[in-house]
Amino acid sequence: MPISANQFKNMNELIQYLNDLEQRINIVEEQNLALRTSMEELSGKNRELVEFLKETWPKTSLFHRSFWVRALTIFGHNLVIQLIIGVFFFILYLVFLAPVIASMLQQVPGLLQ
């Protein structure tokens, strides 16, 4: 909002207006200083958090920036767990079902000759 010469009737009004503006500027500068101080504190806390995460976060490709690296890592994890579960079920099969099937096949005459 532009200021015109007709806005003030005498010099006292102009001085009062300028004093009000100076007070507003001082208040805004104080608020700005407080905000800058709090921003610096937050950025310091953020730096501490980033350093903490760098130290404690596991070193794995699951958190890699590249989508393809993450996807292949997950595929590899799935493949390994499937192999582990498959070996477990194969051992169960050998222990429990294979003797039963072998005994059933022995009971059928002429099958294994």
The backbone region for 89, taken as left when phi is positive above 0, alpha when psi lies in -120 to 50, beta otherwise, is alpha
Element (H, E) at 108: none
pLDDT of residue 1: 59
Model confidence over 15-33: pLDDT tens digits? Answer: 898 999 999 999 999 999 9
Q: How confident is the model over 70-80, as pLDDT tens digits?
A: 999 999 999 99
Its pTM stands at 0.45
pLDDT given for residue 107 in this prediction = 82
**Chain segment 88-110, per-residue pLDDT in tens:** 999 999 899 888 888 888 887 76
Is the pLDDT reported for residue 85 higher than 90? yes
Q: State residue 111's pLDDT score.
A: 63
Any idea where the domains of the chain sit in the sequence?
1-57, 60-113
Give the pLDDT score at 73: 94
Q: What are 50's two structure tokens?
A: 């980033």
Structural contact between residues 100 and 93, judged by C-beta atoms closer than 8 angstroms: no
